[in-house]
Amino acid sequence: MQSDRNQNRAAHFQDLTYQGQLDTVWRQGKSLQIRRIPGYWIHLYAVDALFVEMWICQRQYDVMLLRVLDSIDELEPYLHTIQLSLQELLP
């Protein structure tokens, strides 16, 4: 799923502090989908050409995890509910 350019973007994102990652998602991210699993709401964002999940605890209302999706297979839970247009997501 990731080209060398996307791998560099993913590495740069992962090198940010946790607060830096949150700020990047809040400022640059485009919300695509929200899904629910027991205990969590999982928000999918497009950040530049990356897909990032934000896991929010349903009890504490806190972000517990930010995760860059590394493969197309990881988008599977979202594909039945949204249609992704790369033309809309890419700068």
Across the chain, the runs of DSSP E, i.e. the strands, are: 30-37, 40-47, 50-57, 63-68
User: Which of 76, 12, 65 has the alpha carbon at shortest distance from 41?
Assistant: 65
Question: What does the pLDDT look like over 10-54, one tens digit per residue?
Answer: 888 999 999 999 999 999 999 999 999 999 999 999 998 899 999
- What does the block give as tokens for 8? 């560099």
Q: Please answer whether residues 29 and 47 qualify as being in contact, where contact means their C-beta atoms are separated by less than 8 angstroms.
A: yes
Question: What does the pLDDT look like over 43-70, one tens digit per residue?
Answer: 999 998 899 999 999 999 999 999 999 8
pTM of the predicted structure, to 2 decimals: 0.78
Q: Please answer whether residues 81 and 39 qualify as being in contact, where contact means their C-beta atoms are separated by less than 8 angstroms.
A: no
Q: Please answer whether residues 91 and 82 qualify as being in contact, where contact means their C-beta atoms are separated by less than 8 angstroms.
A: no
Distance separating alpha carbons of residues 6 and 89, to the nearest angstrom: 13
User: Which of 65, 56, 35, 33 has the alpha carbon at shortest distance from 46?
Assistant: 33
Indicate the domain borders of the chain.
4-70
